[in-house]
Amino acid sequence: MNIAAKGMDVALDGSTLTVSATRWAVRFVLGTDRRTIDVSTLKALSCKLGHGLKGGPLDLVDASGKTVIFFRRTSNDELAALFAELVAIAPDGADQVPTGATPLFKETRKP
């Protein structure tokens, strides 16, 4: 499953979710150019569908921190389908854990 989100491309291949930034500003927000997440190790995930003038975010929390993927308000069907796939792969109850207070992921680069 491949989806174009706001400034990033999202690909789900088996239990691996790959998020690739397509814009410079999104690279800054994402914390890296490309992030690979093993969905089976997610601690929490949440989704809010877009409405009116606002798109919806998908929050994913793993051991490295939180990754937020923003979708256009016209992408609700793709977002709902992706979230359903993620919930099916993620550990039981991960969609019931709040994601709000988790710090954002930041890639650690070695000098």
Residue 29: is its pLDDT beyond 80?
no
Residue 101: is its pLDDT beyond 80?
no
Q: Are 45 and 87 in contact (CB under 8 A)?
A: yes
**Backbone phi, then psi, for 5, in 5-degree steps?**
-100, -170
Q: Are 53 and 74 in contact (CB under 8 A)?
A: no
Q: What is the pLDDT of residue 82?
A: 87
Domain 2-92 of CATH type 2.30.29.30? yes
> What is the rounded distance in angstroms from the CA atom of residue 73 to the CA atom of residue 29?
19
> What is the rounded distance in angstroms from the CA atom of residue 109 to the CA atom of residue 61?
20
Q: What is the pLDDT of residue 83?
A: 87
The number of CA neighbours under 13 Å toward the Cβ of 81 is 10
